[in-house]
Amino acid sequence: MNVLIVFAHPEPASFSAALKDEAVATLVAAGHAVTVSDLYAMGWNPALGPGEFAHDRADPGFLDLSREQEHAHRRDSHAADVRAEQAKVAAADLVLFHFPVWWFGMPAMLKGWVDRVFSRGFAYSAGRKYERGHFKGKRAMLCISTGTASTLYEPDGVDGDLLHVLWPIHNGMLAYTGFTVLPPFVAWMPGRVDAGERASYLAAYRERLSELDNVEPLFFHPWDDYDETQRLKPGVVARSGVQWNPER
Amino acid sequence: MNVLIVFAHPEPASFSAALKDEAVATLVAAGHAVTVSDLYAMGWNPALGPGEFAHDRADPGFLDLSREQEHAHRRDSHAADVRAEQAKVAAADLVLFHFPVWWFGMPAMLKGWVDRVFSRGFAYSAGRKYERGHFKGKRAMLCISTGTASTLYEPDGVDGDLLHVLWPIHNGMLAYTGFTVLPPFVAWMPGRVDAGERASYLAAYRERLSELDNVEPLFFHPWDDYDETQRLKPGVVARSGVQWNPER
């Protein structure tokens, strides 16, 4: 397998970095080819904007991002940093997103990687999303750490069900672009537990990575369950991956 | 009222910018004081990282963000751009977040404004979140535009219920820090409708802004509904603002 790890944490000695290093070691030992995009170390620019298309604008007078992204994709004129990341995604069978949960989501660094790299034309286009998405056949998984306890992320927890919190990522970025989405690996409050528990998280992650083929992906309704307005057909009960099962 | 508008769109002639200009004009005409943080125009740096604390680290050897944020807050040593934004939030009675929905959430520019400005010590601290949050007494509202139709955001739509999609923002950033959260104002697909419909959106937004005191906030369970593990007490039915009512 070709594996791409997209990693966003500013501290190289953080537990997030340890999880990333564990993934690299485990996957390489298993014979996979691993590429890491360490966004802070790369000095990634997370702000999608006009700089993206500076040398070849479809319309220099008005920045229509969808239009400029399609134009840049067609002419292979995206900024060099975007093209480099797109090549990594294109080559990957599995993409792992490693990040600490900040404000119920990705750090801006990583959100801006998605904003820029998952451009129209490359990651989605008219009629090609979800089950018909560009990344059909690839798998994706989040490896995250939290600042609070798991109880807060249970269905009746104050932060909300974990999969509810992650819905914009799982459904909106990954299922949307065609990925098969594996359930997330979560290290709860690694900053507040002792070294033994942190070692247990690393061991559990090693195990998860060694059995990816046996992990049941999150469920998302197939395209045929939706009508022409992209709402579920009458009689179809909504059960896309929104309820976290701690036993999984 | 003191109103802070945090605006994130790279094109000054975009419809997002038109909504922001409409808000400024309407609120000023009504006698309010309005401050705008136009993140792209300001060249905002969205990447929370070591630069934040460059001249006064609690621990120069290891970047623990929570610890450094608390340290910087206590000593008023945050980076100048963060302190300036925090002063605007502190002075605001109402904060409006104006942005296009990118990948089911905020553009990285705006996410990075939250990552950096809503720092530990300033926006939350031990025991002070949700109903006891630092921003208790302030109101917040999203003004967003989408790339797809409203049907996709209905409870059975493929993108997921609008309030489900916005949960990480409404619950995780706004209710979490103590804001009273007003239902969002949404312009559906302004890039794909004609000038007349866009004018209708602007008129509807003017009206919304003129009647904010009559708008019922989103519901979030009061603190007393939760037990000591921060899960809902037995018998309390979960009904925090997760189901969008298009009639609202």
Whether A208 is covered by a domain: the verdict is: yes
Distance CA B47, CA B113 (A): 9
Which candidate, B112, B121, B94, places its Cα nearest to that of B1? Answer: B94
* Shortest distance, CA B59 to any CA of chain A (angstroms): 12
- Per-residue model confidence (pLDDT) at position A248: 35
- Per-residue model confidence (pLDDT) at position A239: 74
Nearest CA in chain A to B237: A156
3-class secondary structure, B184: coil
Taking only the tens place, the pLDDT of each residue in B82-123 is 999 999 999 999 999 999 999 999 999 999 999 999 999 999
Taking only the tens place, the pLDDT of each residue in B49-84 is 999 998 899 999 999 999 999 999 999 999 999 999
Q: What is the CATH number of the domain that holds B196?
A: 3.40.50.360
Distance CA B69, CA B119 (A): 6
B39 and B113 in contact (C-beta within 8 Å)? yes
Distance CA A210, CA B153 (A): 37
pLDDT for B242 beyond 70: no
Structure confidence at residue B236 as a pLDDT band (50, 70, 90) = confident
Strands (E), A105-151: 139-145
Whether A232 is covered by a domain: the verdict is: no
| Structural domain boundaries, residue B85 | 2-218
Whether B237 is covered by a domain: the verdict is: no
Nearest CA in chain B to A235: B156
Question: Could you report the average pLDDT of every consecutive run of 10 residues in chain A (248 residues)?
Answer: 98 97 98 98 98 92 96 95 98 98 98 98 93 96 93 83 92 96 95 93 98 92 88 84 45
Q: Token digits for A136?
A: 């059909």
Residue of B115, B159, B171 with shortest CB distance to A107:
B115
pLDDT for B239 beyond 80: no
Whether A233 is covered by a domain: the verdict is: no
Distance CA B237, CA A245 (A): 19
Asked whether this complex has an ipTM greater than 0.85, the answer is yes
Cβ B147–A66 below 8 Å, yes or no?
yes
Q: Does B40 or A54 have the greater pLDDT score? A: B40
- Per-residue model confidence (pLDDT) at position A127: 87
Number of domains comprising chain B: 1
Whether A6 is covered by a domain: the verdict is: yes
Structure confidence at residue B45 as a pLDDT band (50, 70, 90) = very high
Distance CA B192, CA B100 (A): 14
Q: Does B234 or A31 have the greater pLDDT score? A: A31
3-class secondary structure, A124: strand
Distance CA A47, CA A108 (A): 9
Whether B49 is covered by a domain: the verdict is: yes
Mean pLDDT of chain B: 93
Query: Percent of chain B beyond pLDDT 90?
Result: 77
Nearest CA in chain B to A106: B111
Cβ A159–B171 below 8 Å, yes or no?
yes
Residue of B158, B232, B242 with shortest CB distance to A130:
B158
* Shortest distance, CA A174 to any CA of chain B (angstroms): 10
Cβ B109–A155 below 8 Å, yes or no?
no
Cβ A230–B152 below 8 Å, yes or no?
yes
- Per-residue model confidence (pLDDT) at position B241: 60
Q: Kindly report the number of other CB atoms within 10 A of residue B78's CB atom.
A: 24
Whether A222 is covered by a domain: the verdict is: no
- Per-residue model confidence (pLDDT) at position B247: 40
Cβ B111–A111 below 8 Å, yes or no?
yes
- Per-residue model confidence (pLDDT) at position B245: 43
pLDDT for B37 beyond 70: yes
Whether A52 is covered by a domain: the verdict is: yes
